[in-house]
Structure formats: C-alpha cells, structure tokens
Structure 1
Amino acid sequence: MTTEGPQDLNGDLIPDLSEMAPHYLSWGPNTSGPMFTGTAEVEPVGSFFYEPYWFDYLNPSLGMASLTMTQRLSIGLVKNWEFDISLPFISNQASAPTAPAGTTVNAFGMGDTLVWLKQQLTNDADPFHFWARPALALEYQFTLPTGHFLNLDPRLYGEDQTGDGTYNEAIYLIMRKHFKPFMLYLQLGDIIENPTQVGTGFTFNNVIATTHAPQTVVNGNLLWFSGALEHVLNDKWGAGYVLEFFGESQTGQNLLFGPANAPAWSFLWVDPGIEVTWPDTEHVSVTWGLAMGFPVYQSNYPATYTPMGTITVYYNGPFGYRGE
C-alpha cells in the first residue's frame, strides 16, 4: 500500500517567485553605459555580472601614469537590493619631474577595496517618455584601506603607494531615465574619509602634495558628481555612444572630524565613449566599452588624461535581464 506525499493545494509549500521578479522595462537594452556614473536599477535576484575594467590616469605635468585594473562583482541579493565588491590592482610609473631625469620607476600592488549595497527606490515609469518618473537608487559604500601606504620606499618616489590609507563611508543618489533611444544618468555622492596615520613621503589624494614626516591625515569632505547621456543606435547590438562628465571636490572641513589638514582640491572631466554588446543570449551577455577622459577644470589637482575600457559579463538568472 502506498500513500501520496503532501499536496501543495494552496501553494503554501512552494514560494511565489513572481514576488521577487524585477520591474519589467519594455525598452531597456543591455549596454555598457557610462564609465563613472552608476545605474539606478539593481541586478535581478539570481543574476550577477563580473566586470574587469581599466583606467590609465596620465599626468603629463608630473611625468606620472597610474594604470588601475579593477575587478568588480555585482550580485542581485533580494528584490531591489544588490551587493557589489570592487578590487583594484594598480601599476604606477614615474619619470621626470617626479623621478630624476633619465630614470623611470615602476611599482605594482593592490589598491583600496570598495564594497557597497545598492537599494532601488523607484522604477522607470515609462521608458519612452522623458517626463515620466525615473528610476532612483541609494548606494551605501565603504572603502577598506587594502592598498599600500606605509613604509614607502624612497627610491620609488611614492610610486609604491597604491592606497590612501583611510576607511571611508559614502552615500550616493543615482538616477536613470530611459526615453528611447536615449538614457540619461545622474549621480551625486558624499564621502567621509576617516583620519589615518601615515609616514614620510605619503602622497595626499590630490596627487601633488606629500608629507615630510609621519603625521595624522584628516581629509576634508569629498563630493562626487557625474552624469551622462547615452544614445543607443542599435538595440540588438547594444551599440551607441555615451557623453559623460565626472568631477570631485574635496573641502577643507570634514563632516565628522573637524578641520582638514589635507589640501582642498577639485576637478571636472568629460569622457566621451562608444559601446557594443556581443554576444547577447538569453542567459549570457557581454558588453564592451571604450572612452577617453579629458580635463576641463582643475584646482590644486593635476590635469589628467584618461583612456579607459571595460568588459562586463552578465549572467541572467531566472528572471532574465531587466527588459528587451
């Protein structure tokens, strides 16, 4: 004699997965997007992406170049929440005037680690009309000082420094608005950098000033502002171009720790770029992006030229991508 197992007649034993499904976008092709400005939509539950990207910060006036090769992983946790971690590896090079004429020094190491949670607040109400409600998100970010900043080798003229040595807390407001065939992005952030103890030869985060003796460094409040306009020329291939601006400004006052002894500085860059998506299947998509950053304005900060590129490998989980 056999007996039947329990029957889920009322649907109590099997969770309703539809409750975890993301908001569906009737237009929203998967594209590479801006280099600095984030997206307000989070990864769906069960989806993730891996993004290796590189930024080559070139400072001709200082004879310096800093190639940052960052590895980012983003995971959809629960509905409207995403977890991210970013691990940078940095290759620094300096010649005159930072190093003596006729010499070149090189150093390589791990940079500071970023971890953050992103919470999506609203969905794009209508991806075909500009004045409809945009998608909004808050990002809660933390910096871990995993880069090298102590016991610097004077023979390397500061090039072995790959981190700022500070624990940071940051919050960002991110917006994205689709209005076919365009997308508009905006991001504003406030970063609090905790005091840290450094040694001789430490370079402040304006890349110019250095310490002449061990001291406690207090950085001022750091503001982040960026935005972009993306024009998708071909939905199937995620092909298009991006016009982006990005800037930061550090004040002379820390919100929590009082007057700063680190230099105040600011800059503004523009970085036009191109993008394409290939391959693009039901479960796996790969986006490719190239851009070039140009200095527009700087105060107590070196003029910086930045070629950059990114490859993002998406795994689309049970709910697929956010749209079509």
Structure 2
Amino acid sequence: MMFPFTSDADMSRDFQALAPPILPWGPNTSGPFFTGTAEVEPIGSWYLEPFAYDYITPGISASSLYMPMRLAVGLGHNLEFDTFLPLIQNWQGVDASQGIDHSASHFGVGNTHFEVKWELTSDADVYEPLVRPAISLTFDFWVPSGQYQNLNPQDYGTDQLGNGTYNEGVFVLVRKHVKPFMFYLQVGDIIENPSTVGAGYTFNNGTGQLPLTTTNFHMVDGNLTYYAGAFEHVVNTEWGAGYLLEFYGETQSGTNLFFGAANAPSWSFFWLAPEVELTWPHTQKFAATWGAGVALPVYQSNYPHTYTPMGTVTLYFNGPFGYRGM
C-alpha cells in the first residue's frame, strides 16, 4: 500500500506550501479600530478580538454599547476567514419632551458579519516608504440575525438590534510599514438588500423612525460607501506600545446600486479617533494586545452628533508558520 507521505518531513513540507515558514507578519499591536489591515493570518494562526463601542449623543438620554466579537482564522494560500458576532446593549432614559415616561434597556445579538480576505501583495520592504505595500481585497456578507420586527412600543426602540437586511460588500485594504510607522487605508462599497419592516423601526441613521401605525413597509436603503485610514507610531516594539490617529466615515446615498431609488433617509458622517495601544503578555505562541480610544465627530449630515469611547483586546494564538512580533 502506498501512503501519501513517507515521513514527517514530507508532511511538513506539504503543509508549509500553504504559507511562508516562520514569517513574522506584523508587530504586537492592537492596530486601528475601524480600518482593517491588509495582511492575512498565516495558516495555523488565529485570533479572537472583542471590541466595545459606546455610542453617546450629548443632550439625549440614550446610549448603545456595541460589542462585536471578531474571530479571524488563517486559511493558507493568502486567505483569511473572519466572523463578527455583535452583542448589543441599548438603553433609553426618561425623556418627558419625547413622551418617554420610563427607562428601558435591551440586550441581544445584532447582524452577523462574515468576511473572506485575499492578500494580493505583501509589504516589499518595511524600511523603504516608496516600495510596494500590502494590498488585499475582502468580500463581506451580513445576515440579519438582529431583531428588527415586532418591536415592543414600551421598549422605545431599545429592542431593535438590526436593520433586517442582507448586505454584500467589497473592500480594498492597503497597509505600508515603514518602521516605526504604519499607514492603513480601507475603502469599500456595501449593497443593502431591500427588507420589510414595521412599526417603530429606526432607520440606519439612528434618527428617522416609522410611526407605530406602520405595517409591512418595503424599505430600500441607499448605497453605502465606507472609508477609513490610520497613522500608527509604534514607540516600543517589544511591548507593542504606541499611538494612532484614525479617520472614519460612511455615506448612504439616496439610490441603491441594484434596487433603484431609496425610501430610507440618506446620511453621512466623518469622525477622527485618537487611540493608544499596549501588548501584554507576549510570547512566540501567544500575545494579548490592548487598545483604547475615542471617536470624535467632525462632520455629520442627517446623523447624530455622536461621541464614541472604544476599547479592545486581541488574543493572538500563533501557529508554526508566522507569529506576531518584530
């Protein structure tokens, strides 16, 4: 009988064909909050990254704590698979001017996000600024797992955890490492499929809401453009200590690329976010990176003036074909 491998060495060589052997692919840092990185995880490596975004609008006694749990797994062949399972805690306080006579809160799961990342090029030289950067494409899909129908009027919208749409998106990601600095860019387009929503539904801009008498409203959202970028300075590479300045914006138009004129409100915003980061502990097999920051509103159109404190920890489990570290 013939076996596919004649020795452990043969098995190892076949496995290494999926990824470069013992290749560092980035320093121990948490990175930006809104801008993805163009590098993919090597096969055998993965990480778990819970985030927390606390959306606060001054003058309004309400808030929303958005906590996506990200799992990223290296697949080999320059591919990575990511899932984002968002946990959401909404709160509404008493507001007599809006007819809200009691507080309400609701906790649950939002829309689930799946992503496949394909790295097209790697960073050619981390010491030269004018050489080829790392470039990737991502193909994204959202499932409406968050509650959006049969909302309870007594919850004042806190029980709405999703928008009821299946979404598809394509993004371009760029990262250039010029020690001790890193530059990130992400631009993409999201198609939101039509959905049927009902009484009390709040649109994507967080302000427009359907009357309580509405039933079976056929909603069409406009095209959604996403853009973000970041500058990162790694002050201490051993501890992954550094700071970032990030920008982030979204624009939803009045027309859907595939489904025609939208009947949901159009809106846009632009934020700036200073952030800090630190790694502890870190070994060749495991690293935990911590990040914190706040997103500050610069511009908004038909969108709330929102301040967003943020935090994250990334738990890297490093495989045999690449590791987080310098």
TM-score range, shorter chain: over 0.9
1:308 is the counterpart of 2:307: no
What is the CA distance between 1:30 and its match in structure 2? 1.9
Gaps of 5+ in 1: none
* Partner-residue secondary structure (3-state), 1:321: coil
**Which residue of the partner structure matches residue 122 of structure 2?**
123
Would the aligned equivalents of 1:98 and 1:157 in 2 still touch at CA under 8 Å?
no
Task: Tell me the alpha carbon deviations over residues 228-278 of structure 1, each in whole angstroms, 9 at most, x when there is no partner.
Answer: 000000000000001000000000000000000000000000110100011
TM-score relative to the length of structure 2: 0.93
SS in 2 for 1:237: coil
Report the equivalent of 2:203: 204
Distance 1:135 1:159, change over 3 A: same
User: Which of 35, 38, 54 is equivalent to 2:36?
Assistant: 38
2:104 — aligned with what?
105
Unaligned segments of structure 2, at least 5 residues: none
Distance in 2 separating the partners of 1:288 and 1:243: 16
Check conservation: 2:79, 2:119, Cα contact below 8 A.
yes
SS in 1 for 2:154: helix
Report the Cα distance in structure 1 between the residues aligned to 2:285 and 2:32, rounded to whole angstroms.
23
3-state secondary structure, aligned to 1:65 = strand
Distance in 2 of aligned mates of 1:84 and 1:6: 31
Alignment partners' CA distance in 2, 1:146 and 1:97: 32
Please state how far the C-alpha of 1:102 moved relative to its aligned partner: 6.0
SS at match of 2:164: coil
Distance of 2:238 and 2:80 partners within structure 1: 26
Aligned counterparts of 2:304 and 2:23: Cα–Cα separation in 1:
42
Q: Deviations over 1:76-104 (max 9, x none)?
A: 01220000111111110112268546632
Please list, as runs of the form range in 1=range in 2, the aligned pairs for 1:8-157 lying within 5 A after superposition.
Answer: 8=6, 15-22=13-20, 28-95=26-93, 96=95, 100=99, 103-157=102-156
Give the paired residue count: 319
Question: SS state of the match for residue 20, structure 1?
Answer: coil
Change in Cα spacing, 1:293 to 1:171, as seen in structure 2 (3 Å) is same
Q: State the Cα distance separating 1:64 from its structure 2 match.
A: 1.9
Which of these residues, 278, 281, 296, is aligned with residue 280 of structure 2?
A: 278
CA distance in 1, matches of 2:85, 2:271: 23
Q: How far apart, CA to CA, are the structure 1 residues paired with 2:151 and 2:306?
A: 24
TM-score (norm 1): 0.93
1:250 corresponds, among 249, 252, 267, to 252
Q: SS of 1:244's equivalent? A: strand
Residue type matched to 1:281 in 2? T
| Letter aligned with residue 302 of structure 2 | N
CA–CA distance in structure 1, aligned partners of residues 148 and 204 of structure 2: 12
The answer on 1:181 being equivalent to 2:183 is no
Alpha carbons of structure 1 residues 97 and 216: separation in structure 2 relative to 1, 3 Å: farther
Question: What does the per-residue CA deviation read over 1:167-223, in whole Å, with 9 as the maximum and x for residues that have no partner?
Answer: 000011000000011000000010000000001110000000011212011000000
> Could you tell me whether the CA contact under 8 Å between 1:71 and 1:87 is conserved in 2?
yes
> 71-80 vs 164-173, which deviates more?
71-80
Are the structure 2 counterparts of residues 196 and 127 from structure 1 closer, same or farther at C-alpha, using a change threshold of 3 Å? same
Alignment-derived partner of residue 292 in structure 1: 294
What is the CA–CA distance in structure 2 between the aligned matches of 1:301 and 1:122, rounded to whole Å? 37
Give the RMSD, CA atoms, in angstroms.
2.1
Aligned-pair CA distance for 1:16: 2.9
